[in-house]
Amino acid sequence: MDVEHELLAPGPAEEVFARFATASGLDAWWTKTSRADPRVGGIYHFGFDDKHQWQGTVRVLVPARAIEWEMTSTAPMPDWLGTRVGAVLTPEGAWTRLHFYHRGWGPDAASAHLVLLLGDVPAPARAERRARRDRAVRASERALLSAPPGPAVRTRRSVRGQTPR
């Protein structure tokens, strides 16, 4: 299963790319502490907290256009191991189209993602859960894009892949 986001981000592709390719860029929206080796085969360290210290190996790197990591150390979250996280950027005037993806989820992880997306609680509570999730996603997108809340950030999210059993 693949999880994909498409956003229209303010600014040139070089600036948006730096939010993925540099330690300071990643720390601004995703990690607390990271180390970056921006070259194919380079190792990135993604530090979220004491328990979540992950690594990924760069598989694709085209400056201002694309980056992809294969996640090589993801304890205590084994579902992430071997998945590929990446971004493809396309300039559009003063904006940059950002296609952000997380690919290669196995069937168990696919089930978990569908539960997160669709909810596993009774209908009355599902709307509140969905609203909380949507607020969290919007907050992450604003941090990623360094844009104020509002119509400047446009996004489309999708989940593709096999339907879990």
For residue range 123-163, list pLDDT tens digits in order: 555 566 666 666 666 666 666 655 444 333 444 555 555 44
Q: What distance in Å separates the CA atoms of residue 111 and residue 142, rounded to the nearest whole number? A: 27
Q: What is the predicted pLDDT for the residue at 162?
A: 45
Helices (H), 4-122: 13-21, 23-29, 107-118
- Residues 6+ positions from 4 with CB-CB distance below 8 Å: 99, 100, 101, 102, 157, 158, 159, 160
Assigned architecture for domain 2-160: 2-Layer Sandwich (3.30)
Q: Which residues pair with 58 in a beta bridge?
A: 69
Q: What distance in Å separates the CA atoms of residue 37 and residue 45, rounded to the nearest whole number? A: 9
- Residues 6+ positions from 164 with CB-CB distance below 8 Å: 1, 107, 108, 110, 111, 114
Strands (E), the chain: 2-10, 33-35, 43-47, 53-62, 66-73, 84-92, 95-103, 154-160
- Convert 91-108 to b/e letters by CB count within 10 Å (16 or more is b): eeeebbbbebbbbbbeee
Q: What is the pTM of this model?
A: 0.71
Average pLDDT for 82-109: 90
pLDDT band at 17, cuts 50/70/90?
very high
Q: pLDDT digits over 31-77, tens only?
A: 999 999 999 999 999 999 999 999 999 999 999 999 999 999 999 88
Q: What is the predicted pLDDT for the residue at 74?
A: 92
- Going from the C-alpha of 132 to that of each of 73, 92, 117, the distances in angstroms are 29, 31, 12
Domain ranges of the chain: 2-160
> Is there a contact between 79 and 54 (Cβ–Cβ < 8 Å)?
no
